[in-house]
Amino acid sequence: MISVSNVTKAYGSKLLFENVAVQFTPGNRYGLTGPNGAGKSTFMKILQGDEEPNSGSVHVPKKIGILRQDQFRYDNYRIIDTVLMGNPTLWSALEERETLYNATDFTDEMGIRLGELEGIIADEDGYVAEQQAAEILQGIGIPAERHEHLMTTLPTDLKFRVLLAQALFGGPEALLLDEPTNYLDLASIQWLEETLIAYTGTLVVISHDRHFLNSVCTDIADIDYETIIIYPGNYDNMVEAKVQSRSRIEAENRDKQKKVAQLQEFVSRFGAGTRSSQVQSRKKEISRLELTELKKTNIQRPYIRFEVKRLSGTTVLEAQNISKSYEQLDGSILPVIEGFSMSIGRGERIAVIGNNGMGKTTLVRMLVGDLTPDEGVVKPGHEVSLGYFPQDYKQGIEAGRTAYDWLAGFAGEEGNEVLRGLLGRMLFSGEAALKQTENLSGGESARLLMAKLMLLQHNTLILDEPTNHLDLEAVSALADALEKYTGTVLFVSHDRDLVSQVATRIIALTPDGIADYEGTYEEYLAALSEGKPSAMPHKRKSAALLL
């Protein structure tokens, strides 16, 4: 069990939460929610022992699994060893045993210590540890042939997966996971959901994936009103309960205010008259009708609306027989996209889905002209104005400027009032608009890029993983905006709710090839399960994990 007693955390004058007293019990899976800036990651760091509260105390089990965010810390270790480090007791025993085995002057004391170490290793299931670690790695998409390689050979997204495997390894009594679905494809997310649902310890998880929270969580610990309130049920249950609770209190306060006004009118009329006993009774009733204090919620929902300045032609983009390959570390050539053709019509909403390494970003970059195909051509249609949201969002934001100045660099005739209004709708109000771009968080950077897209009013949007750093409110606002957008949109996403709500056409990249399905995500899944040809991919010559 994780126990939190009277914990308060503030940065200067900004209070995140005060006198929090909650318990996270074994067998329950808690989603830690709240908007960006509410203090979710700070609270998680306090649970992990990486940050101290201003006051209060935290008690956690001895063995906990933590999803670390430093993806370069283990570069000089084997991938399998990085996972084994998730059990510090076992890893320490294995390292000490290796040192003793390599000693040149072996003593009786060393022999005794070796026996003790073998006991520790046996107690920690050390003799099947590599097998268990390998199973976790394969579950999250790291193939067996790479387990002996060094971490430095992996790209950042796969390093993150290894750190997730590290957190899951070793039978921890509690799991603390901050955004575990980042960098995971749909298949890996499903595996993680099944793994966590079967987990019998205490889970506390932060995620911007609403579908994931609804699937996994038995309870929601919501940071709002400068405290943490635990709601039974999943995320949707919490939202409903929270809205109902606040609405009920607001209605009760309105009724009280109306009643108090009536009583005060009576007191004013008869206070100096002969009805002194009645007046005193009314005064006592007024004092009893104290309003329930409602602290200001810290939930902020951006207002996202993509408008179209000028319509495009009927055909927006055409890709004709495009192919792209990459040279791998061993010098071999890996074909990623092979002979793919597609035509995008005005008003279509296309979701590009598939496991990591299948070439989704490669396809998107060729469509926007950021990457030249090895073969084939991409042709934009008549009057197409293309807005692009790259997966590496920071590459599109120049450092050394304020958020306002950066956005103003794309303005035409729009003046200060328009820019300030646009920034305000994207939660950059007041001094937040003057924040330096290099100091923006992931969520702030994503919202600033969207403000640019809103300003320029493109008739075509291509978005590569736009939800990666958005909180749940922002993801919901984006989904609503894309659904109402009158232009054309193609987006890459692992967010199942976003794909389900927005897409009217699915491009699915698979190990067998690329499927181009006309229909919604649910219709695509149904057609796929029934083996319908319309959902089947066109065969590709080869498939491998792109590294």
pLDDT digit string (tens) for 69-88? Answer: 777 889 999 999 999 999 99
Residues above pLDDT 90, as percent of the chain: 51
Would the pLDDT of 389 be above 50? yes
Would the pLDDT of 219 be above 50? yes
Domain 1-62+173-233: CATH architecture, name and number where available: 3-Layer(aba) Sandwich (3.40)
Least confident of 22-26, 99-103, 190-194, 290-294: 290-294
Strand pairing report for 538-539 and 219-224:
unpaired
Pair 469, 443: CB distance under 8 Å: yes
pLDDT band of 464, cuts 50, 70, 90: very high
Q: Is 468 helix (H, G, I), strand (E, B) or coil?
A: coil
Euclidean distance between CA atoms 210 and 395, whole angstroms: 27
Which pLDDT score is estimated for 102?
A: 85
Higher-pLDDT residue of 542 and 67 is 67
Strand pairing report for 349-354 and 505-510:
parallel
The model's pLDDT over 126-162, given as tens digits with 9 standing for 90+, comes to 899 999 999 999 988 888 999 999 999 887 778 888 9
Mean pLDDT for 335-356 is 92
Would the pLDDT of 277 be above 80? no
Higher-pLDDT residue of 289 and 277 is 277
- What is the value of pTM for the model shown? 0.71
Retrieve residue 174's tokens.
């509690």
Retrieve residue 18's tokens.
């005060």
Euclidean distance between CA atoms 154 and 150, whole angstroms: 8
Mean pLDDT for 207-232 is 90
Mean pLDDT for 162-183 is 88
Would the pLDDT of 543 be above 90? no
Would the pLDDT of 215 be above 90? yes
Cα→Cα distances 316→301, 377, 386, 460, 487, Å: 31, 14, 9, 8, 10
pLDDT band of 544, cuts 50, 70, 90: very low
46-60, 250-264, 329-343: which is most confident: 46-60
Asked if the 315-539 domain carries CATH number 3.40.50.300, the reply is yes
Would the pLDDT of 319 be above 90? yes
Average per-residue pLDDT for the chain: 87
Mean pLDDT for 406-427 is 90
Would the pLDDT of 68 be above 90? no
Which pLDDT score is estimated for 298?
A: 58
Angle at 197 between CA 193 and CA 200, to 5 degrees: 140
Retrieve residue 546's tokens.
């792109």
Which pLDDT score is estimated for 247?
A: 62
Euclidean distance between CA atoms 26 and 64, whole angstroms: 12
Which pLDDT score is estimated for 257?
A: 76
Cα→Cα distances 513→139, 336, 358, 475, 521, Å: 22, 9, 9, 29, 18
Would the pLDDT of 175 be above 60? yes
In 169-288, which residue ranges form alpha helices assigned H by DSSP? 186-197, 210-216, 235-270, 276-288
Residues above pLDDT 70, as percent of the chain: 93
Q: Tell how far CA 456 is from the center of its chain.
A: 27
Pair 349, 489: CB distance under 8 Å: yes
Which pLDDT score is estimated for 278?
A: 76
**Nearest partner of 387 among 330, 322, 331, 307, judged by Cα:** 307
Which pLDDT score is estimated for 545?
A: 40
Phi, psi of 416 (to 5 degrees): -60, -40
